[in-house]
A = this chain, B = another copy of it.
Amino acid sequence: MILEAVMLNVRPNLENDFESAFQQASSIVASMDGYLSHELHRCLEVQGKYLLLIRWKTLEAHTIGFRNSIEYQQWKKLLHHFYEPFPIVEHFENIF
């Protein structure tokens, strides 16, 4: 299992629109091969900040399977315009 973790900063006053768009987009990622689960969390301290966690069977399920898919183009179209700055995506392996 690989955890994709991304801190997202949504442009001011677009939080509600982002949350609606994410709800729609979540069915896209959930349909992909190697997808296991996802969580979207809203920060209590910083307005417009979110933590996205997506669990994949393998790193390549995300970096190759999803990113090279037609579905990723839909995901981008729904979500990428909300982010400022554009987020850094990192992957993690569970230790404990």
Contact = CB atoms under 8 A, between A and B. Distances in A.
Interface string A1-37: 0110101000000000001001100100000000000
B45 A96 contact: no
- Total copies of this chain within the assembly: 2
A46 B93 CA distance: 12
Nearest to A1: B41
Contacts of A49: 90
Q: What 7 pairs across the A-B complex have the smallest Cβ distances?
A: A41-B92, A44-B91, A40-B96, A40-B95, A51-B92, A3-B41, A42-B95
Interface of A: 2-3, 5, 7, 19, 22-23, 26, 38-46, 49-51, 53, 59, 90-96
